[in-house]
Structure 1
Amino acid sequence: MTDSQRSLRRPLLGAAIAAAGLGLCGLSPLSMAAGKRRVALREEEIEPGRYRDNAQTQAFIDDMATRHGFAREQLADWFGQTVYSATVARLILPPATPGRKSWRAYRSRFIEPIRINAGVRFWQQNRATLRRAEAEFGAPASVIVGIIGVETIYGRDMGTFRVMDSLSTLAFDYPATPNRDARSAMFRNQLSDYLLWCRDTGTDVFSVLGSYAGAVGIPQFMPTSLREYAIDYDGDGHVDLRNSPTDAIGSVGRFLQLHGWEAGRPVVWRIAGDDGSRGVAAAAADGEPWPTRTLNQLLKAGLRVDEPIDLASEGETGVLIADLPTPDQPTEYRVGLRNFYVLTRYNRSFFYALAVYELGEAVKAAMS
Structure 2
Amino acid sequence: MTVRNATRVLRLVIAWGLLVAPALIPLHAETHPGQAALVREVARDTGKDPVALNRLLDGAIRQQSILDAISRPAEAKPWRDYRPIFLTPQRIADGVAFYRDHRALLEQVGQQYGVAPEYIVAILGVETNYGRLTGKYKVLDALVTLGLYYPPRAKFFREQLKVLLELPDNHLAGPLDTLMGSYAGAQGWGQFMPSSIRDFAVDADDDGHINLVDSLPDIVASVANYFARHGWVRGGPVAMRAQPDAAAKVITADDTRPHWSLEQLEAWGYAPLQRANPGELTGLQTLEGANGPEYWFTFQNFYVITTYNRSPLYAMAVYQLAQAIDAGVQAADRQP
Q: Specify the TM-score bucket, using the shorter chain as the normaliser.
A: 0.7 to 0.9
Deviation (angstroms), 1:200? 5.8
Could you say what secondary structure the match of 2:131 adopts? coil
- Establish whether residue 192 from structure 1 lines up as the match of residue 162 from structure 2: yes
* CA–CA distance in structure 2, aligned partners of residues 119 and 109 of structure 1: 15
Aligned to 2:124: 148
Aligned to 1:295: 262
Aligned to 1:340: 302
Deviation (angstroms), 1:70? 2.5
Deviation (angstroms), 1:99? 10
* CA–CA distance in structure 1, aligned partners of residues 245 and 110 of structure 2: 37
Could you say what secondary structure the match of 1:335 adopts? strand
Could you say what secondary structure the match of 1:331 adopts? strand
Question: 1:359 is matched by which residue type in structure 2?
Answer: L
Could you say what secondary structure the match of 1:266 adopts? coil
Deviations 1:267-297 (A, max 9, x none): 1122136434xx33xx223232101112222
List alignment gaps of at least 5 residues for structure 1. Answer: 1-45, 175-179
Aligned to 1:361: 323
- Establish whether residue 233 from structure 1 lines up as the match of residue 233 from structure 2: no
Contact 1:234–1:246 (CA under 8 A) maintained in structure 2: yes
Could you say what secondary structure the match of 1:52 adopts? helix
* CA–CA distance in structure 2, aligned partners of residues 364 and 294 of structure 1: 27
Higher helix share: 2
Deviation (angstroms), 1:159? 0.6
Aligned to 1:315: 278
Deviations 1:240-267 (A, max 9, x none): 1112222111111000000000001111
Deviations 1:214-257 (A, max 9, x none): 01010111111111111112223211111222211111100000
Question: 1:308 is matched by which residue type in structure 2?
Answer: R
Distance change in 2, residues 1:192/1:238 (3 Å): same
Deviation (angstroms), 1:69? 2.8
Identity in percent = 33
* CA–CA distance in structure 1, aligned partners of residues 75 and 307 of structure 2: 24
Q: Which has the higher contact order (CA 8 A, sep 6+)?
A: 1
Which has the greater radius of gyration?
A: 2
Aligned to 1:138: 114
Deviation (angstroms), 1:80? 2.7
Deviations 1:3-31 (A, max 9, x none): xxxxxxxxxxxxxxxxxxxxxxxxxxxxx
Aligned to 2:17: none
CA RMSD in angstroms, aligned pairs only: 2.2
Aligned to 1:14: none
Deviations 1:283-332 (A, max 9, x none): 223232101112222122232211123xxxx33321100111247x4210
What is the total number of aligned residue pairs between the two structures? 306
Contact 1:295–1:315 (CA under 8 A) maintained in structure 2: yes
Deviation (angstroms), 1:47? 6.9
Contact 1:104–1:326 (CA under 8 A) maintained in structure 2: yes
List alignment gaps of at least 5 residues for structure 2. Answer: 1-22, 332-336
Deviation (angstroms), 1:356? 0.3
**What TM-score do you get using the length of structure 2 for normalisation?**
0.85
Distance change in 2, residues 1:211/1:235 (3 Å): same
Segment drifting more, 83-92 vs 121-130: 83-92
- Establish whether residue 350 from structure 1 lines up as the match of residue 312 from structure 2: yes
